Amino acid sequence: MKKFPLVLIVEDEPAIAELIAVNLRHNGFTPIWAEDGEAAQRELNAVLPDVILLDWMLPGQSGLQLARKWRADPRSKSVPILMLTARGDEPDKVAGLDAGADDYITKPFSTQEMLARIRAVLRRRAPEQVADSVSIGALQLDAGTHRVSWQGAPLKVGPTEFKLLHYLMKHAERVHSRAQLLDKVWGDHVYIEERTVDVHIKRLREALGSASTMVETVRGAGYRLTAQVDSAKLIAADA
């Protein structure tokens, strides 16, 4: 029997939720509706969805709070989150990405845009990954076991940051534009803004700690991972 992707809709407006649910059902998805964070958590506890459509403005816990909470939970941290928001300003979009959202949809939105964004995050959820290992200086990554270490000490790196680091390490010393990284790491960047890369680079640097100086910003060009880091920078970062 064919499995239809399960979509958890967290939306406090019944009319909007029903409209979304109807369009999802007509396009091969199985929607579940939760009107607030408490109801959404019950649904998550019962069965893990394939993707979450999360409204920014909710009674009780906000969408941002819920996104942070679910990203911190090992069980739900890899579930794609699409933030539904009437806030179209750049700082608000960045806040949504920083909270853990994979993408956002600004209200009002078309059905085709919503479906395209859902399909895009689902395609990126399990991209082809080579189970190899790579080392750059004291930084080591094992794709098979999903482990990263720096100077022998393990590092905690999120799933998207892991894929980003893997690609940068496999193509060390080369400068990659944001568009190239979206294409190679995310796989389909038609509906993703380039600002997303900056957010994940920031998270990657935070995860790398004293090794963060290996990820360089090349002004006007993009990013690169380099082993040619000034030792004084590494010493300062370790201090």
Do 181 and 210 sit in the same domain of this protein?
yes
pLDDT of residue 20: 93
Chain Cα centroid distance, residue 29: 21
* pLDDT above 70 coverage of the chain, percent: 85
Give pLDDT, residue 187: 64
Query: Which pLDDT tens digit goes with each residue over 164-202?
Result: 999 999 999 999 998 888 877 876 544 567 788 899 999
Q: In the predicted model, is pLDDT for residue 7 greater than 80?
A: yes
Contact 159, 88 (CB under 8 A): no
- Domain membership of residue 112 (yes or no) is yes
As a whole number of angstroms, the distance between CA 97 and CA 67 comes to 9
Task: Flag whether 44 is in a domain.
Answer: yes
Residue 132: left (phi > 0), alpha (psi -120 to 50), or beta? beta
Whether residue 114 is found in the same domain as residue 174: no
**Is the CB of residue 141 less than 8 Å from the CB of residue 49?**
no
Dump pLDDT digits (tens) for 143-153.
888 899 999 99
Q: Of 1-10, 53-62, 178-187, where does the model show the most confidence?
A: 53-62
CB-CB neighbours of 157 under 10 Å: 21
What is the domain count for the chain? 2
Judged by DSSP in three states, 71 sits in helix
Contact between 43 and 49 (Cβ < 8 Å): yes
- The verdict on 120 and 216 lying in the same domain is no
**What's the rounded mean pLDDT across residues 73-80?**
85
Determine contact, residues 94/102, Cβ cutoff 8 Å: no
When pLDDT is cut at 50, 70 and 90, the band that residue 101 belongs to is confident
pTM: 0.56
Residue 73 confidence (pLDDT):
87
List the beta bridge partners of residue 220. Answer: none
Please tell me whether residues 106 and 82 are part of one structural domain: yes
- CATH at residue 172: 1.10.10.10
Residue 102 lies in a domain: yes
Tell me, what's the pLDDT at 91?
Answer: 67
20 occurs within a structural domain: yes
Same domain, 51 and 92: yes
Same domain, 142 and 115: no
* Pair 118, 66 in one domain: yes
Better-scored residue on pLDDT, 128 or 64:
64
Task: Give every CB contact of residue 188 below 8 A, 6+ residues apart in sequence.
Answer: 120, 123, 124
**At 57, is the secondary structure helix, strand, or coil?**
coil
Interval 155-159 mean pLDDT: 89
CATH number, domain of 40, equals 3.40.50.2300
pLDDT band at 229 (very low <50, low <70, confident <90, very high): low
Does 118 share its domain with 137? no
Instruction: For residue range 120-138, list pLDDT tens digits in order.
Output: 888 765 444 556 789 998 9
Residue 191: which domain range?
A: 133-238
Radius of gyration of the chain (CA): 19
Query: CA–CA separation, 165 vs 163, rounded Å?
Result: 5
User: Tokens 């509906």 identify what position?
Assistant: 191
How far is residue 166's CA from residue 133's CA, in Å, rounded to a whole number? 9
Amino acid occupying residue 167: Y
Residues 12, 58, single domain; the answer is yes
Query: Could you tell me if 178 and 74 lie in one domain?
Result: no
Q: How far is CA 231 from the centre of its chain?
A: 32
Assigned domain for 48 exists = yes
Residue 129, helix vs strand vs coil: coil
Domain limit, last residue, from 125, 145, 160: 125
Structure confidence at residue 139 (pLDDT): 95
Domain co-membership, 44 together with 94? yes
Cα gap 57→85, rounded to integer Å: 7
Do 63 and 10 fall within a single domain?
yes
Percent of the chain with pLDDT strictly greater than 90: 46
Evaluate whether 138 touches 210 at the Cβ level (below 8 Å). no
Comparing 30 with 86, the larger pLDDT belongs to 30
Specify whether the backbone of 87 is left (phi greater than 0), alpha (psi in -120 to 50) or beta: beta
